């Protein structure tokens, strides 16, 4: 009787292992960070009509891009982040088959664009903190 | 008793298989010449000339083609449009890129992370080819 009970429990164990391994749910999380965060608050540090190009460079550092216009330069600052999450139902051991995949990709960036006049003084600026909208998963 | 041993062997086999399918990846990528911070301190707006800048830091990057690393990132659709575009004669740009990649592969759960940071020096010249303004950021310290 005892050995029959043991056999039954081993059979259950094998079934459980098969259910766990073939197939398995796998979860993959990916993170990409590119560039430097815009740490200073442009609303507090930039005064339209007063802040100069030299001050902008000392506050925010070198821009990631510069564009020339007929009436002054444009500085572009950008910080890029990408979050990916994938949930897959697959059998990686015996058949390498994927039965189901859920993939989620979020790409967001913080962007700061500063427009200068010909004298190198801030004419206007635009700021968008997109990375705050990133969800953890 | 025989069956019990066989079952144990199967379970052990599956566990070993799972164990050997796990892994860890660490990658480092460095591109461009180092920007020496001590030399950056010597830059004096209105005094330092273009010749001195080129002598201290070498040929500026904006005069050269995009780096291999940036091309790869674009090709793999990892990041969007390229940053660091300075196609102007009165701007000198120097950049040192460092990328740290790490991944843990545990079959059931995998995690991958890539951080790309740059030390960046941008110098604006005036009409006399002297430094007008400059900006420097040591982004690789954030890694």
pLDDT value, residue A98: 80
Q: State the virtual CA torsion across B3, B4, B10, B12 in degrees, nearest 10.
A: -160
Task: Decide the pairing of beta strands B23-31 and A122-129.
Answer: unpaired
Q: Output helix, strand, coil percentages for chain B, rounded to the nearest 5.
A: 35, 35, 30
Contacts of B81 in chain A (CB under 8 A): none
For residue B122, the distance in angstroms to the closest alpha carbon of chain A comes to 5
On whether the CB atoms of residues B83 and B105 are closer than 8 A, the answer is no
Q: Could you tell me which residues are beta bridge partners of residue B1?
A: none
Taking the CA of residue A29 and the nearest CA in chain B, the distance in Å comes to 5
One-letter-per-residue 3-state SS of B42-93: CCCCCCCEHHHHHHHHCCCHHHCCCCHHHHHHHHCCCCCCCCCECCCCCEEE
Is a pLDDT exceeding 90 seen at residue B16?
A: no
- Structure confidence at residue B83 (pLDDT): 55
- Minimal Cα–Cα distance from B99 to chain A, Å? 9
Residues of chain A falling short of pLDDT 70:
1-2, 18-23, 92-94, 137
pTM across the whole model: 0.78
Q: Is the pLDDT of residue B110 over 70?
A: yes
What six digits make up the tokens of A66? 């510069």
Contact check, Cβ <8 Å, B79/A31: no
pLDDT for residue A71: 86
B137 part of contact set with chain A, CB < 8 Å? yes
Provide the ipTM: 0.76
Which residues of chain B does A14 touch, with a Cβ-Cβ cutoff of 8 Å?
A: 7, 10-11
Hey, are the CB atoms on B7 and A14 less than 8 Å from each other? yes
Side-chain-side CA neighbours of B85 within 13 Å: the count stands at 8
Q: What's the gap in Å between the CA of B49 and the closest CA on chain A?
A: 17
Note whether A36 contacts B115, CB cutoff 8 Å. Answer: no
Tokens at B12, concatenated: 């052990």
CB contact under 8 Å between A35 and B134, yes or no, is: no
Answer with the residue of higher pLDDT: A84 or B108. A84
pLDDT digits (tens, 9 = 90+) for B84-102: 566 677 889 999 989 999 9
Q: Which segment of A87-91, B11-15, B16-20, B79-83 scores lowest on mean pLDDT?
A: B79-83
Q: Quick one: pLDDT band at residue B109, thresholds 50, 70, 90?
A: confident
Which residue in the set A25, A30, A93 is minimally distant from B17, CB to CB? Answer: A93
Q: Is B116 on the interface with A (CB under 8 A)?
A: yes
pLDDT digits (tens, 9 = 90+) for B28-77: 999 888 999 999 999 999 999 999 999 999 988 865 555 666 666 666 66
pLDDT of residue A70: 85
CB A117 within 8 A of CB A71: yes
């Amino acid at each position: 009787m005892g050995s029959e009970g043991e056999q039954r429990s081993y059979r259950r164990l094998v079934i459980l292992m098969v259910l766990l391994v073939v197939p398995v749910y796998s979860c993959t999380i990916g993170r990409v960070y590119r560039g430097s965060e815009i740490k200073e608050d442009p609303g507090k540090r930039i005064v339209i009509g007063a802040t100069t190009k030299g001050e902008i460079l000392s506050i925010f550092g070198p821009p990631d891009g510069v564009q020339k216009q007929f009436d002054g330069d444009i500085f572009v600052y950008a910080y890029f982040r990408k979050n990916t999450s994938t949930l897959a139902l697959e059998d990686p051991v015996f058949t390498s088959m994927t039965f189901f995949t859920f993939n989620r990709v979020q790409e967001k960036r913080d962007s700061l664009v500063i427009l200068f006049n010909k004298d190198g003084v801030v004419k206007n600026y635009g700021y968008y903190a997109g990375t705050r909208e990133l969800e953890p998963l | 008793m025989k069956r019990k041993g066989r079952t144990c062997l199967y379970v052990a086999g599956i566990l070993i298989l799972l164990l050997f399918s796990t892994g860890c990846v660490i990658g480092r990528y460095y591109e461009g010449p180092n920007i020496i911070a001590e030399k950056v301190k010597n830059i004096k707006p209105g005094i330092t000339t273009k010749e001195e800048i080129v002598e201290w830091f070498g040929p500026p990057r904006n005069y050269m083609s995009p780096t291999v690393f940036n091309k790869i990132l674009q090709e793999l659709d990892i990041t969007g449009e390229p940053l660091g575009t300075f196609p102007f004669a009165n701007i000198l740009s120097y950049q040192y890129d460092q990328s740290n990649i790490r991944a843990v592969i545990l079959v059931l759960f995998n995690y991958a992370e890539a951080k790309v940071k740059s030390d960046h020096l941008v110098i604006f010249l005036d009409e006399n080819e002297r430094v007008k303004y400059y900006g420097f950021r040591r982004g690789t310290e954030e890694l």
